[in-house]
Amino acid sequence: MALDRWIALILLGICLAYGYAAWFTMDGSLAPFMKRNPIWPSTFPKVLSVLGIIATLFILLGIEKSTPKEADIDYRRLGEYHLGQALMLLALMVAYALCLRPLGFLFSTSAFLILGSYVLGERRWQIMLPVALIATVSVWYLVQEVLGIYMRPLPGFFGG
């Protein structure tokens, strides 16, 4: 079986487990007044699981195949790819997740965006800094003020 079908089989298992959780376990603890709502907290996960199952079945059954072509990524030539950049981005993601709570959203997200763009090759600081800062403050404002979800903007030692 081809690599794309193995990946689709793994994703099918994940979608089935996610769908089981969405259809059978999420709605049991709803408050009585929420059970009369047309849209429940499990509605989006249910839709996602069904769409994921349909997409993976398309791949497993070979419906999306048109003509066979050679693989885009050759695992025998893995050293020729930008593997260092990918590993650095993964390390940055882990560091971002670990620093998010103690250092606050604004500093952690700005640092992640600036360092991530530097790792990917951007060297113009006059573009990196404003874009990262505007994106960070915009997302924080939308989540905090518009959606009403509290996110610690500053590090804990600043009273954030």
Residues with Cβ within 8 Å of residue 109, at least 6 apart in sequence: 96, 100, 132, 135, 136, 139, 140
**Structural domain harbouring 116:** 81-158
Tokens 């573009």 found at? 127
- Give domain status of residue 76, yes or no: no
Q: Total domain count for the chain?
A: 2
Q: How far is CA 13 from CA 49, 58, 108, 113, 128, in A?
A: 10, 14, 34, 33, 40
Average pLDDT for 11-25: 90
pLDDT reported for residue 126: 92
Is 67 or 38 the better-scoring residue by pLDDT?
A: 38
**Per-residue model confidence as pLDDT tens digits over 57-111:** 998 888 877 666 666 766 677 677 778 888 999 999 999 999 988 888 899 999 9
Q: Residue 156's pLDDT band (boundaries 50, 70, 90)?
A: low
Distance of CA 28 to the CA centre of its chain: 27
Range with lowest mean pLDDT among 1-5, 95-99, 130-134, 144-148: 1-5
Q: What is the pLDDT of residue 155?
A: 75
Q: At residue 40, what are phi and psi to the nearest 5 degrees?
A: -100, 170
Please check whether residues 122 and 102 belong to one and the same domain: yes
CA gap 153, 159 in Å, rounded: 10
The 10 Å Cβ neighbour count of residue 38 is: 5
Instruction: Indicate if 85 and 153 belong to the same structural domain.
Output: yes
Q: Looking at residue 98, what is its pLDDT? A: 92
Same domain for 85 and 152, yes or no, is yes
The string of pLDDT tens digits covering residues 110-140 is 999 999 999 988 889 999 999 999 999 999 9
Q: 125 in a domain, yes or no?
A: yes
Residue 115 CA: distances (Å) to CA of 3, 77, 88, 92, 102: 33, 27, 10, 8, 19
pLDDT at res. 146:
81
For residues 30 and 92, membership in a common domain is answered with no
The pTM for the full model equals 0.55
Decide which of 151 and 99 is more confident.
99
Q: Are residues 95 and 147 in the same domain?
A: yes
